A and B are shown apart, each in its own frame.
Chain A
């Protein structure tokens, strides 16, 4: 089984600083880390490989320094890494990103499964996984919390929904996006790290694949960030002072009225 795991780097949330004037995030390459939610995709892929055999390709799009994150995945046990690094890809939104990744996957990789993290902790959209499925025109199961069975042709998964769990049987090839609940990511081992050091990461650019230029990067991205605002959190509460026992029943009535006005009871 060939599994492709798309990953990305995000700013280390512990170190994120906001520009006080523009309100945007100050990004520096040194502080970038692998999107923590992608680790669950890597772990899921590794467990499937351990159980059924296979090959895991880690695919990322980003600056050259993103190779560090791919190395971490190789150290955990993934088999190869491809880094798409080109100025032409810069500024991609989720539409352009999923186009770019899917083009590479379609063109150069035979694959059975694409396993992605639920979302990235910076953009928080959760769109790239399903986007890849759309471009490749294959099924997608999002928020997968458990792999129930696999018979070579179909994979049965549990999907976390707002009301509980859904069981889905999905034909291969398909895309899964996984939630934290699915597995605890393993720690890399020294042996894994030494092995990863000896593996080359293929760095590819615009010229290596048959991209349609107008779909790439900022110009291929329909999304425009117009303005970033910090939401104003306002608590519109009411204070009722109770001084005597008579106040108490009156206060209770006011409390009930307040809650029903808000549609809470």
Chain B
């Protein structure tokens, strides 16, 4: 996955992309707008604010040129629907600089939008009300590798993959590893509490974050947590920040937990005739006492689109669905035994074929099929809504017919793939290339409402790992328990009295 799409189109700044945003942020026509364009207060960036920013981080680390800022106006959501230009992008190098930027923003009531690698999938890093994007990309150092405590201290802008590679050389493993593995930053992973393909066995990012250095929305730096396995000293504020999508402050450093590196691994690619057979197999595997590292699901549409995109020659034509199952461990024989047990279990559940990958090339080959689905569908039509629904694992089989019904009802393709092992499926609404945008927006909206209602019936939630951001805000506010929503708002108001820290994300105040 690329950090920045090379899309050179100009993005709309109209507030129709975010119906939930306050009216005061209306920005006029669909053209690129420089920072000098007039706009309602309180978010105007004056030349004197820019001068102050330059004094804090140095003149070369404050950008206002729209062409240079274009990569910072969107994340991995559809840029045409959600993209919005910032007024400025700043690149701090130290926590002190971040504190000064936040204090400045409070003084002038300017929105701040913290940003990692921009690989988010809910618009969390998009400056949809303008303001200043605070990019953590220069804060990218590994500060300490403490092998005695099995922890690493990193800056928030460190590429997660680089952290993983570095600790691997010491026989250690950073297990909070999301899917967009090449590009994402640890800070972004923390902001979204990112999950990924290995969550059934290893859990999500939060499990591996022992401590964070946070710059609060009022500009104070504070360490929450520490190099501790246990800590009930007061409220667990660290956990509150993890997954708060940059609304409760800017994470500048983190203490991450490391575990022993698994040395043996085997992957199974299992073809099934129907999605039902594949999905029904998942709870059977999970209740057998073997904990696979991953159980990924792909339906027929996902398989065929991705395989054609990759020129993959596996005999997939007969398959209505597949499971990609990984087992790992530190004992090669045990891993092989587990692999065989799981494979044979699949065979008894009607698998058409069980392929095995035990070497790196074959593993790459089968994981490529899974990793390239989204890219493959972008070739068909770049306009799509990548969903992130999550249900209890035992309810996954009930979800598939719901998706099929929606696909029929709205006559759109809804490929479905994702982390079946933890109930987190990326059903994706793909716009028919011939459908006009206005119709699509209506179809998307109704279909999402139906989908989220179905998910609620199955005791699920609308986002497992991508977050609410701006993309799901409207639906989230409709569906969430009002008491829960009011608690969240109370927290936000208490932490961020001037509402400058990533305002308008997750919920409106």
Contact = CB atoms under 8 A, between A and B. Distances in A.
A187 B357 contact: yes
A34 B359 CA distance: 9
Contacts of B344: 190
Contacts of B57: none
Contacts of B250: none
A190 B340 contact: yes
Contacts of A36: 361
B36 interface: no
A37 B269 CA distance: 23
Contacts of B360: 12, 14, 33
B359 A187 contact: no
Given A187-B366, A194-B340, A72 B359 contact: yes
Contacts of B361: 36
B314 interface: yes
B314 A187 contact: yes
Nearest to B355: A187
A187 B269 CA distance: 9
Contacts of B225: none
A75 interface: yes
A192 B357 CA distance: 12
Contacts of A72: 358-359
A187 B368 CA distance: 14
A188 interface: yes
A264 interface: no
Contacts, number: 40
B268 A33 contact: no
Given A184-B313, A187-B314, A187-B365, A193 B356 contact: yes
Contacts of A34: 359
Contacts of A12: 360
B447 interface: no
Contacts of B355: 187-190
A69 B340 CA distance: 18
Contacts of B340: 190, 193-194
Contact of B356 (A33, A184, A190): A190
A189 B313 contact: no
A187 B356 contact: yes
A191 B346 CA distance: 12
By secondary structure, the A interface counts as: mixed
A187 B313 CA distance: 10
B347 interface: yes
Interface in B248-303: 268-269
B337 to A, nearest CB: 11
B183 to A, nearest CB: 20
A190 B343 contact: yes
B354 interface: yes
B149 interface: no
B359 A189 contact: no
Contacts of A187: 269, 314, 355-357, 362, 365-366
Contacts of A192: 356
Given A184-B313, A194-B340, A189 B354 contact: yes
Interface in A128-185: 184
Contacts of B343: 190
Contacts of B393: none
Nearest to B354: A190
Contacts of A191: 354
B239 interface: no
A66 to B, nearest CB: 14
B444 to A, nearest CB: 37
Interface in A65-120: 72, 75
A188 B361 CA distance: 12
Nearest to A187: B355
A139 to B, nearest CB: 30
A194 B357 CA distance: 14
A184 B314 CA distance: 9
Interface string B330-372: 0000000000100110010000011111111110011000000
A47 to B, nearest CB: 12
A142 B375 CA distance: 38
Nearest to A30: B263
A185 B220 CA distance: 58
A33 B269 CA distance: 21
A184 to B, nearest CB: 5
B359 A33 contact: yes
A182 B276 CA distance: 37
Interface string B395-406: 000000000000
Given A184-B313, A194-B340, A189 B353 contact: yes
A148 B353 CA distance: 30
Contacts of A188: 355-358, 362
A36 B362 CA distance: 11
A154 to B, nearest CB: 28
Nearest to B314: A187
B367 to A, nearest CB: 12
Nearest to B336: A193
B158 to A, nearest CB: 22
A117 B366 CA distance: 23
Interface in A187-243: 187-194
Nearest to B343: A190
Interface of B: 268-269, 313-314, 340, 343-344, 347, 353-362, 365-366
Given A34-B359, A189-B354, A190-B344, 12 more contacts: A12-B360, A14-B360, A72-B358, A187-B366, A188-B357, A189-B355, A190-B268, A190-B340, A190-B343, A190-B347, A190-B354, A193-B356
> What are the nearest 3 A-B pairs in CB distance?
A190-B354, A190-B343, A187-B355
18 contacts: A34-B359, A72-B358, A75-B356, A187-B355, A187-B356, A187-B357, A187-B362, A187-B365, A187-B366, A188-B355, A188-B362, A189-B355, A190-B344, A190-B354, A190-B356, A192-B356, A193-B356, A194-B340
